[in-house]
Structure 1
Amino acid sequence: MRTSTAQHLAALDALTARVFPDHSEYCRSALRDSGPGHHVVPLATSEDFWEDDGTRRLIVEDRYEAERDALAVLLDIRWGAPRILGLRDVLERGMSGEDVPEPWATLSCHVPDLYLWRAGERWIGLGVAQWDKELPFQLVAVVTTVDPP
């Protein structure tokens, strides 16, 4: 089932209102990744690509990027133009031994670029994630008080 931009916006609003777990709590599942100072939630998840010649994957990637961009237009109205944060460098820094805080360390493993807004004490981000070429794409939302590295 496809979700609409309005549904994504409502889910993001609910996420920004959610309290962060304390320092002793951590919750990671297919539905969310929450820890001290952050929440990461998939807003939409595609099908997988195990039996794809690459054509369908490109179409779905374009669709997920278009969904991110449509939602970003609405967030631009609220918070202005986003900062585009490239996370490949963050991944390389983490692999070189630098201590990269969450949620940035995990995000850098599967989100190449994140659209990022500052709203009060929180950072709000949108990205298109994919863990591997056969696995589904996800439109992910991030809310965190942890400054980007």
Structure 2
Amino acid sequence: MTTGAPEAVSHEAPGRYLPVIDGMTVRPFPEADFEDAAGYGGPACCVRVPRASQDFRDGEYHRALDRAGAEMSAGLGALAAALTVRWGDPLAVGPGPYPEAGFGGRTAPEPVGRLSQSACGMQARTVPDSGRRIGLTVGRHGTELPLALMAVASRTPRPAPGAGGGG
């Protein structure tokens, strides 16, 4: 089910969310794992949530989830188009072995482990002359929690499960 809201979101998203991306390309990575109102991360990866839906605890769960999904997809599409103009076509990145790491007794380093549990994949672009990659995805951390448009900055390839790092 589609309403007029996704189109409105898609027109406002790039101008509204690009400052978040710009900050992620220059701000130093934190020295330790963190979580705050705008996202979470650690020394090798930072996740920011420029837009989130409401939570899904009401009786209109499926209808609200469909609307939120359409809005987040529109926002993701508009922001992705703006980044394509800036930095070129994205590379599609899947969660790889991270969601299953715990079944083999290994752990995925954080925040990569948490991110892989909330999103099925992302669009990633290398930011020229910065040594960083910026990824975009839509996901959520639980069935009743908000759907979120997430921007991810990393300076290294994703570490292998069990290759160090903890939560």
Q: Is the 8 A contact 1:49 1:134 kept in 2?
A: yes
**Equivalent position to 1:134, from 131, 136, 144:** 144
SS in 1 for 2:118: coil
Q: Which amino acid aligns with 1:45?
A: A
Q: Is the 8 A contact 1:94 1:105 kept in 2?
A: no
* Corresponding position of 1:66: 74
Q: C-alpha displacement at 1:89, in angstroms?
A: 4.2
* Corresponding position of 2:21: 12
- When normalised by structure 1's length, the TM-score is 0.86
Q: Which amino acid aligns with 1:9?
A: L
CA deviation profile, 1:101-128 (whole Å, cap 9, x unmatched): 3332110010111111112411111111
Q: Is the 8 A contact 2:93 2:123 kept in 1?
A: yes
Q: Is the 8 A contact 1:88 1:112 kept in 2?
A: no
Q: C-alpha displacement at 1:54, in angstroms?
A: 0.6
* Corresponding position of 1:30: 37
Structure 1, unaligned runs of 5 or more: none
Q: C-alpha displacement at 1:99, in angstroms?
A: 4.1
Q: C-alpha displacement at 1:63, in angstroms?
A: 1.2
Cα distance, 1:54–1:130 mapped onto 2, change above 3 Å: same
* Corresponding position of 2:134: 124
Cα distance, 1:94–1:80 mapped onto 2, change above 3 Å: farther
- When normalised by structure 2's length, the TM-score is 0.78
What is the number of equivalent residue pairs in this alignment?
Answer: 146
CA deviation profile, 1:58-103 (whole Å, cap 9, x unmatched): 1211210111111001111122111111226421234433443333
Structure 2, unaligned runs of 5 or more: 1-8, 161-167
SS in 1 for 2:98: helix
Q: Is the 8 A contact 2:13 2:78 kept in 1?
A: no
